[in-house]
């Protein structure tokens, strides 16, 4: 009986051991399975998270507006001429909007620190010549004035847009020249000079120019600028930098009869390049300008004009990152007719 009992005990122990071993294997397999599932789930979540992050990044990049840091703009200060031309050393300083009478030849002088619109009004028809600060003649007023008889007096006026500077106005009685014998011209002659500031954003004078790429005014994107074109000043140039590829909006408004504008790249080529067949001939015609031929050809290409009946234009254009020049101008085809390129303008170049 004892032997049988011991045998039963050994058999039972063996069965228990075998069962325990099998249970352990099942448990290990289950744990391993759970670990695998957790790992795969984690990897899936991580990949999904990376994908979502990439999508979010792309979304942010697409919707984020272009940030453009401001740049240092040009700083120009008008300096009054130090020397007075010898022939004008006795010139009389006059005030604007006041009448001055004279009965013999006389020279008046006035100075402005910013570009302005001037109206010269002459009563009883004197001869008059306008000179710049160097003593060089700019205009004789006698032969192109619009003449009106008012209160039995001969009145003529002319409008000019002049840069900052000192000017000299030399007047001579008409009846001294023997060309006119109307008795009304025996009355004293008189002159009045009116001045209206054009509020240019940058000073331009005879010692400060912005007519070429080399001396173009540096501007910021998204800011409105004002300028003036006028006598001996038919083109203004501005330089700006586009830090990234972007669509640029150009707004240009002008009071000029034939207003034009141009966009030029760093290679001094029109953007987009579209030069008409007459560009080279035109460049030669206005070769007295200090702009080089490439700029002239670009600036006066045909397509960039404000449409008739409008005073402003808005243009959108896709540009690559880089330096560009914006130019405001009158119509070169106007020849010597000052009204074609005399007046004020404003513009803004922006990235939406």
Beta bridge partners of 157: 121, 146
Give residue-wise pLDDT tens across range 242-275.
999 999 999 999 998 778 888 888 877 777 654 4
Give the closest residue to 216 by CA, choosing from 263, 283, 257, 161.
Answer: 263
By the 8 A CB rule, do 96 and 111 touch? no
Give residues with Cβ within 8 angstroms of 127, minimum separation 6.
Answer: 140, 141, 142, 171, 172, 173, 174, 177
Rounded to an integer, what distance in angstroms lies between the CA atom of residue 259 and that of residue 300? Answer: 11
Residue 254 has what pLDDT? 93
Rounded Cα distance, 23 and 200, in Å: 94
Between 148 and 177, residue with greater pLDDT: 148
- Integer-rounded Cα Rg, in Å, for the chain is 40
- The per-residue pLDDT for range 179-194, each reduced to its tens digit, is 444 555 566 788 999 9
Q: What CATH architecture applies to the domain 217-351? A: Sandwich (2.60)
Mean pLDDT throughout 122-145?
81
What was the pLDDT predicted at 230?
A: 87
pLDDT at 64: 65
Whole-number Cα distances in Å, 315 to 251, 252, 266: 7, 9, 20
The more confident residue out of 333 and 325 is 325
- CB–CB of 165/208 below 8 Å? no
Q: How confident is the model at residue 133 (pLDDT cuts 50, 70, 90)?
A: very high
Q: Name the average pLDDT for the chain.
A: 75
Cα angle at 10 between 4 and 16, to 5 degrees? 135
**pLDDT at residue 49, rounded to an integer:** 47
Burial of 236 (0-12, 13-18, 19+ CB in 10 A): buried
DSSP characters over 247-303 = EEEEEEEE-STT-EEEEEETTS-BSS----TTHHHHHHHTTTSSS-HHHHHHHT-TT
Q: The pTM is what?
A: 0.72
Tell me the pLDDT tens digit for each residue of 230-246.
Answer: 877 888 999 999 999 99
Note the pLDDT tens digit of each residue in 277-319: 455 555 555 444 445 555 655 555 544 678 777 889 998 989 9
On whether the CB atoms of residues 342 and 329 are closer than 8 A, the answer is no
Q: How far apart are CA 113 and CA 117, in angstroms?
A: 12
**Is the pLDDT at 19 greater than 70, yes or no?**
no
pLDDT of amino acid 215: 86
Distances (CA, A) of 330 to 42, 167, 225, 237: 69, 23, 17, 13
Percentage of residues in the chain with pLDDT exceeding 90? 36
Q: Please give the C-alpha separations between residue 110 and each of 8, 88, 120, 193, 223, in angstroms, as whole numbers.
A: 134, 12, 12, 9, 33
pLDDT at 124: 76
Which of 91-100, 253-262, 331-340 shows the lowest mean pLDDT across its residues? 331-340
Q: What is the pLDDT of residue 253?
A: 95
Architecture of domain 86-197: Sandwich (2.60)
Query: Strand 217-218 to strand 235-242: parallel, antiparallel, or no bridges (unpaired)?
Result: parallel
For residues 47-65, average pLDDT:
50
17-21, 23-27, 58-62, 86-90: which is most confident: 86-90
CA atoms within 13 A of residue 208's CA, in its CB half-sphere:
19
Q: How confident is the model at residue 114, as a pLDDT?
A: 94
Q: Where in the sequence of the chain do the CATH 2.60.120.380 domains occur?
A: 86-197, 217-351
Q: Is the pLDDT of residue 167 over 50?
A: yes
Peptide bond just before 62 cis, omega within 30 deg: no
Contact between residue 124 and residue 149 where contact means Cβ atoms under 8 Å apart: no
Residue 140: per-residue pLDDT: 85
Lowest-confidence segment of 53-62, 109-118, 153-162, 219-228 by average pLDDT: 53-62
Q: What is the model's pLDDT at position 273?
A: 58
User: What's the confidence (pLDDT) of residue 331?
Assistant: 66
The DSSP-derived string for 175-220 is HHHTS---GGGGSPEEEEEEEEE---SS--BSS---SSSTTPEE--
Structure confidence at residue 174 (pLDDT): 62
* Number of neighbours of residue 295 by Cβ within 10 angstroms: 24
């Amino acid at each position: 009986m004892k032997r049988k009992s011991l045998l039963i005990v050994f058999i039972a122990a063996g069965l228990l051991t075998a069962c325990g071993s099998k249970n352990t294997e099942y448990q290990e397999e289950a744990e391993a399975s759970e670990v695998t599932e957790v790992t795969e789930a984690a990897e899936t979540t991580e990949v999904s998270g990376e994908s979502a992050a990439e999508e979010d990044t792309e979304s942010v990049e697409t919707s984020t507006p272009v940030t453009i840091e401001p740049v240092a703009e040009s700083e120009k200060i008008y300096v009054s001429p130090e020397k007075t031309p010898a022939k004008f050393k006795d010139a009389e300083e006059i005030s604007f909007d006041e009448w001055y009478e004279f009965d013999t030849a006389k020279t008046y002088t006035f100075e402005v620190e910013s570009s302005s619109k001037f109206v010269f009004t002459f009563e009883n028809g004197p001869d008059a010549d306008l000179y710049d600060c160097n003593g060089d003649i700019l205009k004789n007023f006698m032969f192109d004035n619009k003449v009106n008889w008012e209160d039995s007096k001969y009145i003529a006026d002319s409008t000019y847009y002049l840069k900052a500077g000192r000017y000299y106005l030399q007047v001579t009685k008409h009846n001294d020249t023997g060309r006119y014998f109307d008795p009304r011209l025996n009355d004293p002659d008189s002159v009045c000079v009116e001045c209206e500031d054009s509020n240019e954003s940058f000073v331009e004078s005879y010692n400060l120019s912005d007519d070429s790429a080399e001396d173009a005014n540096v501007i910021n994107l998204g800011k409105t600028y004002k300028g003036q074109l006028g006598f001996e000043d038919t083109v203004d140039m501005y330089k700006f930098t586009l830090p990234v590829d972007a669509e640029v909006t150009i707004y240009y408004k002008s009071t000029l009869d034939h207003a034009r504008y141009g966009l030029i790249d760093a290679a001094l080529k029109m953007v987009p390049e579209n030069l008409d067949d007459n560009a080279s001939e035109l460049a030669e015609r206005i070769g007295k300008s200090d702009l080089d031929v490439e700029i002239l050809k670009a600036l006066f290409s045909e397509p960039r004009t404000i449409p008739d009946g409008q005073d402003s234009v808005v243009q959108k254009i896709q540009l690559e990152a880089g330096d560009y020049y914006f130019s405001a101008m009158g119509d070169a085809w106007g020849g010597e007719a000052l009204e074609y390129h005399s007046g004020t303008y404003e513009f803004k170049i922006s990235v939406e």
